Amino acid sequence: MRLKFLSAITRPLLTSVVPMKHAGGGRRGPAPSGVLLRSEAHRMVAQLAAVAARQASQLIAFWLDVDRFRQINDTFGHASGDEVVAVLSRRLLAVLPPGAQCFRMGSDEFVALAALPSCSEAEWLARTMGTEIERPLSVQGVNIHLTVSIGLHAWTDGESASQFLARADRAMFVAKRMGGNRFEWAREDHRDGGPGAEQSKRELMVASMLHDALLHGGLALRYQPIVGADGRIEAVEALMSCSSGGVPVSPGEFIPVAEKIGLIDKLGEWSLMEGALCAARLLRQGMPTKVAINVSRAQLLSEAFLSALQGALLCANVPPQWIELELTESLFMEQSPTVQQNVQRIRETGVGLAIDDFGTGYSCLATLKDLPATKLKFDKAFIQCLPDDTRVLAIVRSMTDLAHFLGLVVVAEGVETDEQLRVCEDAGLDATQGYFHARPMPEGQLTAWLESHHHER
């Protein structure tokens, strides 16, 4: 159920069934007074359930997990992340009915336990918590809007405290998988063997396909042209593809699994080397073309990243101006010293740096001027609103002007129609990428495409 519809709902009377616990009981860390520790949640379930039963109410567990919280830590650093958690804790405490308790279960996970007379009261409370979390919040001068996924479960006789909490946790996981920013009640099919188990089974399968592809050559790079407004080829983006036993898996699925199981470093090194070799071959074949290679956060967290990059340039014997690395905007703002150092050093090698997926994170215009980037790529989610969405168009136009002022090359991804192409060109973008020009293709096909494109001009 979506959380959005709060304004249409009026608050029912919430009944107080448990005396308010005095503030300060066992709290630690950045959460404000009143938020308790994880270990206390289990201990208090039985106590609260007994009180609820005496009052003819039900004990409800609300398992909350802030959506995309990792991006806050990645972008603004952990100290700011802690401040955000403290603000959210205060907001949650403020809307809990008297007698309810709130526990911090993990970095951005909370459990609220409240004795409530009906499920509709519980849903009302879930919506209220969602609205509280959504209220804008200023972090280092940037206004951010967070959302939350909530799993709800009503206490059933005979459940242990950990079974009770685990069911709310699983329901939260389902809410998250349905896109987040919503709440879900625990259901029978969320028990072991439900969607959570399905997901982990799929991850295990993808992991084994990845190992298999690495061993038997199922990995490949496909290249998608980025076409300049003047018709020249600005660059080609190298996109990884993986198949095992003839079955393809999309990078959207296998990259996160590779990050989880620690394979991303290997995959990243492989794509750096392959991309550099392709750039060298294109150069030798008289079609000098820049190859843009995607880099993930896990790679940049490694101190070995720069030697992998230099190794690839050296082995392929390609000058650095023919390589560009694509990093998401949140990575540029990452506070980790290793990441910052890697980003600086990449530029010192002479390799280009593109801000990828621009517009999807918490873009901070103030810091844009300090980034060592050479290119800005508007995310396809932006471009696909064009030409109809005039607000998006206004943003694309003014961001393009600003980026030009800062000396960046500006690219749109996800251009699928000639109308989108026209709007991008009118907005002054330097280059476009998308199915309208060509889909990602193997190197053999790319050279043929480049040749025919060259002759068409």
Residues noted as catalytic: 413
Q: Binding string, 151-190, against ligand C2E, x = CB under 6 A?
A: ----------------------------------------
Distance in Å, CB of 287 to ligand C2E, minimum = 21
Which residue's CB is nearer to ligand C2E, number 168 or number 238?
238
| 253 touches ligand C2E by CB under 6 A | no
Distance in Å, CB of 296 to ligand C2E, minimum = 4
| 251 touches ligand C2E by CB under 6 A | yes
Q: Binding string, 359-388, against ligand C2E, x = CB under 6 A?
A: ---------------------x--------
Residue nearest ligand C2E, CB atom distance? 434
- Within 13 Å, how many C-alpha atoms sit on residue 12's CB side? 15
Beta-sheet strands, E only, within 21-100: 35-37, 58-66
Helix axes 264-284, 443-456, angle to 10 degrees: 40
Exactly one of 440, 447, 449, 450 binds ligand C2E (CB under 6 A); which one? 440
Contact 178, 184 (CB under 8 A): yes
Spatial separation of the C-alpha atoms in residues 407 and 369, rounded to whole Å: 10
| 414 touches ligand C2E by CB under 6 A | yes
Name the binder of 250 from Ca ion, ligand C2E, none, CB < 5-8 A by kind: ligand C2E
Contact set for Ca ion, span 261-300 (CB under 5 A): 294
| 239 touches ligand C2E by CB under 6 A | yes
What letter represents residue 196's amino acid?
Answer: G
Contact 345, 309 (CB under 8 A): no
Exactly one of 65, 324, 356, 443 binds ligand C2E (CB under 6 A); which one? 356
Exactly one of 244, 296, 363, 447 binds ligand C2E (CB under 6 A); which one? 296
Q: Which stretch binds ligand C2E (CB under 6 A): 49-57, 303-311, 403-411, 412-420?
A: 412-420
Which residue's CB is nearer to Ca ion, number 124 or number 362?
362
Contact set for Ca ion, span 298-317 (CB under 5 A): none
3-class secondary-structure state, position 241: strand
Distance in Å, CB of 118 to ligand C2E, minimum = 44
Exactly one of 150, 255, 392, 421 binds ligand C2E (CB under 6 A); which one? 255
| 416 touches ligand C2E by CB under 6 A | yes
Selection from 6, 30, 27, 167 nearest residue 95 by Cα? 6
Spatial separation of the C-alpha atoms in residues 430 and 226, rounded to whole Å: 10
Torsion of CA 137, 138, 143, 144, to 10 degrees: -50
| 196 touches ligand C2E by CB under 6 A | no
**Residue in the structure block whose two tokens are 């064009």:** 386
**431 DSSP β-pair partners:** 228, 411
Q: How many residues contact ligand C2E, by CB under 6 A?
A: 22
Considering only the C-alpha atoms of the chain, give the largest distance between any 2 of them, rounded to a whole number of Å: 83
Selection from 418, 369, 412, 365 nearest residue 393 by Cα? 412
As a whole number of Å, the CA-based R_g of the chain is: 26
What DSSP line would sit under 172-226, residue for residue? HHHHHHTTSSEEEE--GGGSTTSHHHHHHHHHHHHHHHHHHHHHHT-EEEEEEEE
Distance in Å, CB of 294 to Ca ion, minimum = 5
Distance in Å, CB of 326 to Ca ion, minimum = 4
User: What are the counts of helices (DSSP H) followed by strands (DSSP E) for the chain?
Assistant: 17, 17
| 224 touches ligand C2E by CB under 6 A | yes
Spatial separation of the C-alpha atoms in residues 276 and 95, rounded to whole Å: 55
| 224 touches Ca ion by CB under 5 A | no
Spatial separation of the C-alpha atoms in residues 64 and 113, rounded to whole Å: 11
Exactly one of 196, 218, 320, 434 binds ligand C2E (CB under 6 A); which one? 434
Spatial separation of the C-alpha atoms in residues 418 and 437, rounded to whole Å: 9
**247 DSSP β-pair partners:** 244
Q: Which stretch binds ligand C2E (CB under 6 A): 96-104, 181-189, 210-218, 248-256?
A: 248-256
Contact 9, 87 (CB under 8 A): no
Distance in Å, CB of 212 to Ca ion, minimum = 25
Name the binder of 45 from Ca ion, ligand C2E, none, CB < 5-8 A by kind: none
Distance in Å, CB of 298 to ligand C2E, minimum = 8
Residue 126, number of CB atoms within 10 A of its CB: 26
| 123 touches Ca ion by CB under 5 A | no
- 402: Cα separation from own chain's centroid: 25
Cis previous bond, 98, omega within 30: no
| 127 touches ligand C2E by CB under 6 A | no
Residue 264, number of CB atoms within 10 A of its CB: 23
Exactly one of 121, 274, 326, 430 binds Ca ion (CB under 5 A); which one? 326
Per CB under 5 A, residues contacting Ca ion are: 294, 326, 356-357
Per CB under 6 A, residues contacting ligand C2E are: 224, 239-240, 250-252, 255, 271, 294-296, 326, 356-357, 380, 413-416, 434-435, 440
